[in-house]
Each structure stands twice: as structure tokens, then as C-alpha cells.
Chain A
Amino acid sequence: MEDFGAIVFTDIVGFTELTAIQGDDVALRLLARQDDLVQRELPGTGRIVKEIGDGLLLWFTDAGDAVTTSLSLQDAYEAESAAPDGVPLWVRIGIHWGSPKHRGDDIIGHDVNLASRIAALAGAGEVLCSDAAVIAAQRTGPMPGVCFAEIGPVVVKGIPEPVTVVRAERA
């Protein structure tokens, strides 16, 4: 039986510039703060697969939890950035529902690559999802407090049909 789940990529926008200006110590503190916030928001259905540079790869067995956790993370990042002495913690997040191959604790495959592509389309502070992730998140009905808006067909290398990508936000 295939193991379906929500694949979530996060990526800090402007991390290279910030490191160049503020130095490595500030960069390390920012990553540590990101880790703290993720650990605080992560439900029992989710785990950190690995760190990828300044980004994270997360895995959720529940797509709804992936969406609500991602939105909560964005709220936390925004609050952090808005503090008077806050260093910008601008993060883009992409979610896809699929069945990647497991290699130890890691996950690999086409679905992981697609989640990464979706994250790259997001702006700082945004959560974007594939339509597969939205369908999985709403399989038992609409998610309270969350709305989805289609951003259009996305042409992805290696996939014949365009992928529909959707923006998730607080209702």
C-alpha cells in the first residue's frame, strides 16, 4: 500500500542578503528561531524530514494539519518580523499531497520535487498548495477558518498536464 501524505517545503526569502549584511551569528539565530517556532506549531501528525539550507522539508500524514500548521507558521513568522528590533523572517511555503518513496527518514521522488516547485512560486508570507493537497485537506468537508483561491495552471517540467495551484489563507 502506498504511503500518502502532505509534503511541505519552507524557504526563507532573502536569507543570503541577510547573512551578508548581518553576519553569520544573526543567520544562526534566525534559523534557531525558525526551528523553535516549527517545533512549537508542529502537531502529532507532522515531522521535520530534514533541513535544506535555510529551508525545511516537512511531512504530514494529515493534509488539513499541513495547511493549518503552515498558516500558523506564517502568523508566527510575521509576528517575529514585525517586532521593533525584529529581523525579517520572510518564509514561503508550498504543499503537495502525494506518495513519495521513503529512504530511511528521508522522502524522495516526483511528488517531493513538485512540492518544491510550488514553494518556489509563493511570495514571502504565502502558503501555496497543489489541488491534490486541497482535495485531501477537504475530503471530509470545507476547512473552517481557511479559504483557497486558485492562482492558475502551472506548467511543470516533466508533467504533461498543467498543475492547478491554489493559495491558502485565513478566511
Chain B
Amino acid sequence: MGTLRLKISNRSGSVRVRAEGNAPLQITGAKESNAEDPSTMRIKATSSTIEVRCPAHTSVSIGTASGAIELAGVFGAVHVVTATGSVRIDEAESADVRTASSNVKVHQCHGHCRIVTGNGEITVDSAGHVDLRSASGRVGVRHAASGDVRTASGAVSVGLVDFPAEGRLRIETISSSIDVSVPHGTHPHSRLRSMSGHVRCDCPDGADGSIELRSVSGSIRLSDG
């Protein structure tokens, strides 16, 4: 049997999943749960809170309309689609989260971290690669080896705690500001352009990775440390 995969849907209740060690699968609050195949369990509720305990590195796919979603522990691939429920993920191999208006917080994602939101706020502490899309929600990233960020009117703030020489970061906005800081002494190759916003760069140009920041009217700032 391969890695366990959970497919969880809940119309209006919240979903809490804890993945740790070799914990046996325990499910509470579900209306029905059944094995789709030897490695996939389908779990469904309509309004109650679903609580699941599962082994570490379990992959989960969750769909809700309005309930909060909390993933505590260490997960494999994580997929979440929700309209308004807030999303919090401790640690995952990869993540794909889509919301209309929820706030999304990812603590650690080792691989690809894709988040799409309307007006929810996005916070990523650490990820291998971020791919973030927001209409009007603010975006904050603390560490990523590479990334692609687009917002229409949500301000973007990226405070990189380290940035590898092969790192690549591209951020584009329409009206919102972009503020990126790189570790002290890092000299990325940078291309900054705002059609009508103020542009300020405190970093000497170099070859420590590549940073491209573009906006139609938002201000842009790239700073050292």
C-alpha cells in the first residue's frame, strides 16, 4: 500500500486534520466514509466538524463551502478548495489552495506552494517555490527559493531570509505596492518597473539570483536587509 490519501468534503462545517508519526486513521464527525481504493479514503459531512487523525505524510484533498480548515502536523500533497473558510497548514510536501475570501497561512511547504484567492490574505513562512495569485488580498512571504506572485490590488511584501544564487522571483501587480528585502550582502540581478509608481532600489545589481518586479501604478521597493 502506498501513501494514504484522504478526500474530504464538508458543505459548511470545519475540517481539522492532524498527521503525526504512525498514527492510525481515526475519523469523527463524518456522515459517511469509505475506501475508494486501497490507498484512498473518501470522507464526507454536510455541516458538522470533521476531525481526522492520520499518519504523517498523508496526502489530503479538501473541499468545503464555508468551514475553517486546519492541517496540523506533516502532510504529503495538500489540495484545498473553499469559498470562505480560513486555511492553515503546518507542513506539507506541496500545496494547492484556492479560496474566494479566506485568509490562507502556510508555515512550511517543501515544494511547490500554489495559492489562489480573491480577497483573502496570503501568508507563507517558507516554501520551495511560491505561485501566488490574489485579486485584492495582501500577500506576505518570508522565504522562498523562487516564486511567481500576481495581485491586482493586494500589497505584496516579501522579506527573504535567504535567497539562493539560482533563485528567481517575479512579482507583478496592477495598483498595489511591492516591497522586497533580500538578505544583507545579496546582490541579485534585478529588473524593476512601475509605469506610474515610485521605484526605489537599494541593492547593487549582481548575479545572486534574479528578481523582476513590475507594477502598473504601485510603488516598488527592493532593499538590502
A residues sitting closer than 8 Å to B (CB atoms) are 13-14, 16-18, 20-22, 87-88, 90, 120-126, 150-155, 157, 162, 165, 167
CB-defined contacts of B133 to chain A, threshold 8 Å = 13, 123-126
Q: How far is the CA of A20 from the CA of B114 in the complex (A)?
A: 28
CB-defined contacts of A154 to chain B, threshold 8 Å = 63, 81
Q: Are B100 and A17 interface neighbours, CB within 8 A?
A: no
Choose among B44, B63, B172 the residue that contacts A88 (Cβ–Cβ < 8 A). Answer: B172
Residues of B83-106 contacting chain A, CB below 8 A = 83, 96, 98, 100
**Across the two chains, which residue of chain B brings its CB closest to A26?**
B216
Q: How far is the CA of A16 from the CA of B131 in the complex (A)?
A: 23
A-B contact count (CB 8 A): 84
Q: Are A88 and B216 interface neighbours, CB within 8 A?
A: yes
Q: How far is the CA of A121 from the CA of B116 in the complex (A)?
A: 8
B residues sitting closer than 8 Å to A (CB atoms) are 7-11, 44, 61-65, 79-81, 83, 96, 98, 100, 114, 116, 131, 133, 135, 150, 152-153, 172, 174-175, 196, 216-217
Q: Are B61 and A14 interface neighbours, CB within 8 A?
A: no
Q: Which 3 A-B pairs have the closest CB atoms?
A: A14-B152, A123-B133, A152-B79
List 12 A-B pairs, Cβ < 8 Å. A13-B152, A17-B216, A21-B174, A21-B217, A121-B81, A121-B98, A123-B98, A123-B131, A125-B150, A153-B62, A155-B64, A162-B63
CB-defined contacts of A17 to chain B, threshold 8 Å = 152-153, 174-175, 216
CB-defined contacts of B216 to chain A, threshold 8 Å = 17-18, 21-22, 87-88
Q: Are A14 and B9 interface neighbours, CB within 8 A?
A: no
CB A67 to nearest CB in B, in angstroms, measures 19
Q: Are A90 and B63 interface neighbours, CB within 8 A?
A: no
Given A21-B174, A120-B100, CB of A153 within 8 Å of CB of B9: yes
CB A148 to nearest CB in B, in angstroms, measures 13
Q: Are B80 and A152 interface neighbours, CB within 8 A?
A: yes
Q: Are B96 and A152 interface neighbours, CB within 8 A?
A: yes
Q: Are A124 and B150 interface neighbours, CB within 8 A?
A: yes
Specify which of A13, A18, A22, A167 lies most central, judged by the most chain B CB atoms within 10 Å of its CB: A13
Q: Are B96 and A155 interface neighbours, CB within 8 A?
A: no
